[in-house]
Chains A and B, each alone.
Chain A
Amino acid sequence: MIAAYLVLLIPLVGIVYFALAGHKTDTGKLNVWFNGICLLATIWLAINVLNQGTIISSGKAFLIDPFNVYLIVLTAFVGFTTSIFSSPYMEHEKEIGKLSDKRLKLYYSMFQGFMLAMYLVLTSNNMGIMWVAMEGATLATVLLVSLYRTPESIEAAWKYFILCGVGIAQALFGTILLYYAAVQIGDGENALLWSVLYENADKLNPEILEIAFVFLLIGYGTKIGLVPLHNWLPDAHSEGPTPMSAVLSGLLLNDALYAVVRNKMLVDGATQSNMAGYLMMGFGLLSFLVAAVLLHRQKDIKRLFSYSSIEHMGLMTFAFGIGGPLATFAALLHMTVHSLTKSAIFVTVGHAAQLAGTQRMDQIRGLIKTQPKIGWGLLIGTISIAGFPPFGVFTSEFLVLLATMHSYPWLAPLLLLGIGIAFAGLFRHIQPMVYGDKPEAQKPIKANLWPVTIHLALVLWLGLAIPGFLAHWFSQATLLISGSTPL
């Protein structure tokens, strides 16, 4: 349990420290250290959970089980690699005069604030605190989206703030309804604890929980970026600093989905029907298809990949909605590989945009000729995210397709269609950027592509063979969520 407290404590110290001293020259490296120690702590926590099974803290405030511990490690890992990338990126931004000392303080402090909120969402056993942390994540990142203070970035941040704020209010209403159902069967103080609710799920009033789930799905669904509540996502991703886009896409969306799945587990227990699943499938599939189509109409490279994020989150929501062991396993795997790939892509995109001095895709040209590392990184990342074998995304998408064929065969053509449209949408934009002629004045820049290499290598590894301990881990989580194992 100490490990869990450590995971929460380190970013807390980080917030305060960086708020005071975030402008110093080596802050970026220090940020890497903070995240690195946090990663070690999460690994320690994961080993504990793997050995002992589910851990509940003494006051029942925190719950660590196989499902969330794997997400905690993933969060820490993506946070760590992003901080490695962010260090030179932010220095470059400071050098070209885009950011002042004050904003750097804000950036590093809120980076840690965001990490804290993410860890709190994942570790909290209390559904109310989970909501508070989720809202906290919005509050922490909203000023980062408008970090550059351009009219566009302020507009994006305002949209992000208002839409997510209003959206997440629905989730609080759902949580209140959940609590209302829970106090009818038990004592008030423990009635929001997930572990308590899960044990008594069959006693909860199914009518109330059905209504509650609709609100919860709308609320957290806004954060996942489900269509039609996705408008904030491309704006926030495209206007903020790139490391922020990487963590938003790789972590925030996952954690929102995590919250939905946690609630779905309760609702399924109470209603004994697949109502929650159908809702998730519907919204997921809609997001998947709409985002795939919208990929074709983008001009901004970061917006392009934000729509790709919406598409993949839709697919995951759909897979969790199907709900069988195979689909759940696939969704968990997809969560992992998507996080890794997408944050790698955003890191490369960040470098590419710095290289070309713009985010407009028709002005980014000849990456491979100017700086082959960046060009290849972007190309391989895109191949991976589009679902080509042998990368992990292919495996997970294939599994989702298999599960769909098994349970709802008539939906499989729609999925295939979506994957095809998305593939075309990505490649028609990427191809000229990577190849194409090199503009005159374009010069290589200082870039750190280690995070990208590590992420893509991991995704490749997951695509070729899932290591034993990870497979064991996934199947434990699958057992928890769906009630049986796929293997």
Chain B
Amino acid sequence: MNIEQLDFYTQAILSMAALVGLTSFLMLGQGRLLRLIFVFAMQGFLLTLTTALAAYSLNNHHLYISAVLTLVLKVVFIPWMLRRQVIQMNMHRDIEALKNNTAVMLGGASLMVFSYYVLHPIVQSSSVVMLNALAVSLSVMLLGMLLMISHRQAIAHVVGFMSIENGLFFAAIVATNGMPMVVELGVAFDVLVAAVLFGIFFLHIRTSIDSLDVDLLNKLHEVDK
């Protein structure tokens, strides 16, 4: 099945998948916190668009609610909160020197290949499009983890954490046209609470180690010294 034989909705979804994947890569290579947060907001916006598109073309009203929820939470609230934190803590001029940036990028690419490999059995029971959507969302999740590994700032960790959530959300929207409403609301609630808790945590970490560099959180060991 070639792409020109698919309907417009599917083409649009595939393009969105590609763009969402791209934003993940952009975040991976980003050393400036404000830009990182901006790209994260872009990813959230792409998700909102995808959700709205799905809602429109499937005529599914509860997806509109999810779209609004995503917009408010992932495009406005969380980026706003993180941005405020960065500016308050006077870190917006810092550039984090990323170690082994090239290796991390290559690692990201191989994670993408890996997610295709993992999900390949699915193709027997469903369309190529579903495989793509699921694989992209899995790779967004894995790239989010890689982001957390490669960055040292706590704020970057939170962005990675939230982008993992974005990947999950993309899978839920595209593969299954949204989970049941009650579950979606629950997940959104969890994300909101997590975001607020992260805000509190920044304060605590800041007061305890006078920095947000999580490499300095190194007092506890697997085996006591």
Query: Do A and B touch each other in the complex, judged by CB within 8 A?
Result: yes
B107 at the interface (CB under 8 A from A): no
> For the complex, is B28 an interface residue (Cβ under 8 Å from A)?
no
Q: A166-B161, A294-B223 are in contact. Are A139 and B180 (CB under 8 A)?
A: no
Report B-chain residues with C-beta under 8 Å of the C-beta of A128: 179-180, 182-183, 186-187
- Give chain B interface residues in 159-195, CB to chain A under 8 Å: 161, 164-165, 167-168, 171-172, 175-177, 179-180, 182-183, 186-187, 189-190, 193-194
- Give Cα A165–Cα B224 distance, bound, in whole angstroms: 25
Query: Is B124 touching A207 in the complex (CB atoms < 8 A)?
Result: yes
**Contact B157 A129, beta carbon cutoff 8 Å:** no
Which of A145-153, A328-336, A338-346, A437-445 makes up part of the contact surface? A145-153
Question: Contact at A207–B161, with CB atoms within 8 Å?
Answer: no
Taking the nearest CB of chain B, how far is it from the CB of A336, in angstroms? Answer: 29
- Which residues in B have their C-beta under 8 angstroms from that of A183? 176-177
Interface residues of A in 139-189 (CB under 8 A from B): 139, 142-143, 146, 149-152, 154-159, 161-162, 165-166, 169-170, 172-173, 176-177, 179-180, 183-184, 188-189
A contact face: mostly helix, strand, loop, or mixed = helix
Which residues of A are found within 8 Å of B9, using beta-carbon distances? none
Chain B minimum-CB-distance residue to A151:
B208
Quote the shortest CB–CB distance from A220 to chain B (angstroms): 15
A143-B197 CB under 8 A given contacts A149-B208, A152-B219, A180-B175: yes
Tell me if B190 and A179 are in contact (CB < 8 A).
Answer: no
Interface mask (A365-378 → B, CB under 8 Å = 1, otherwise 0): 00000000000000
- Closest residue of A by beta carbon distance from B204: A154
Q: Please determine whether A158 and B201 come into contact, CB atoms closer than 8 angstroms.
A: yes
* Chain A neighbourhood of B145, CB < 8 A: 166
B182 partner, pick from A126, A166, A294, beta carbons under 8 A: A126
Q: Which of B141, B190, B197, B222 touches A173 (beta carbons < 8 Å)? A: B141
Q: How far is the CB of B152 from chain A (nearest CB, A)?
A: 13
Of all chain A residues, the one with the shortest Cβ separation from B124 is A207
Interface size class of A (residues with CB under 8 A): 35 or more
Q: Give the residues in chain B near A300, CB-CB below 8 Å.
A: 224
Interchain nearest-CB distance for A290 vs B (Å): 10
Q: Are B180 and A161 in contact (CB under 8 A)?
A: no
Q: Which chain B residues border A135 with CB–CB below 8 Å?
A: 187, 190, 194
Chain B 138-157 near chain A by CB (<8 Å), digits 1 or 0: 10010001001000001001
Q: Is the CB of B168 within 8 A of A172?
A: yes
State in angstroms the CA–CA spacing of A128 and B217 once bound together: 33
Give the segment of B18-26, B34-42, B94-102, B115-123 that binds chain A: B115-123
The answer to whether B224 touches A298, judged by C-beta atoms less than 8 angstroms apart, is yes
**Given A173-B138, A184-B125 in contact, is the A161-B224 Cβ separation under 8 Å?**
no
A192 lies within 8 A of chain B by Cβ: yes
Give the nearest-CB partner of B190 in chain A: A135
Q: How far is the CA of A238 from the CA of B222 in the complex (A)?
A: 12
In the complex the two chains form, is A192's CB within 8 Å of B179's CB?
yes
The answer to whether B177 touches A188 (Cβ under 8 A) is yes
Does A354 count as interface, using CB distance less than 8 angstroms? no
B214 at the interface (CB under 8 A from A): yes
A231 at the interface (CB under 8 A from B): yes
What are the residues of chain A within 8 A of B204 when measuring CB–CB?
146, 149, 154
Query: What sequence of 0s and 1s flags, for each residue 3-33 of chain B, a beta carbon within 8 Å of any chain A beta carbon?
Result: 0000000000000000000000000000000
Instruction: List chain A residues, Cβ under 8 A from B119.
Output: 211
> Could you tell me the distance in whole angstroms from the C-beta of B96 to the nearest C-beta in chain A?
18
CB contacts (< 8 Å) of B208 on chain A: these are 149-151, 154
Counting chain A CB atoms within 10 Å of each CB, the highest count among B183, B194, B220 belongs to B220
Task: Tell me the nearest residue of chain A to B157, going by C-beta.
Answer: A162
A299 to B225, CA, bound (A): 8
A208 CB–B CB distance under 8 Å: yes
A297 at the interface (CB under 8 A from B): yes
Report the Cα distance A238→B214, complex, angstroms.
20
The interface residues of chain A lying within 8 Å CB-to-CB of B205 are 154, 158
7 A-B contacts (beta carbon < 8 Å): A129-B186, A143-B197, A158-B205, A177-B134, A210-B121, A294-B222, A297-B224
Binding site for A on B (CB under 8 A): 118-119, 121-122, 124-126, 130, 134, 137-138, 141, 145, 148, 154, 157, 161, 164-165, 167-168, 171-172, 175-177, 179-180, 182-183, 186-187, 189-190, 193-194, 197-198, 200-201, 204-205, 208-209, 214, 217-220, 222-224
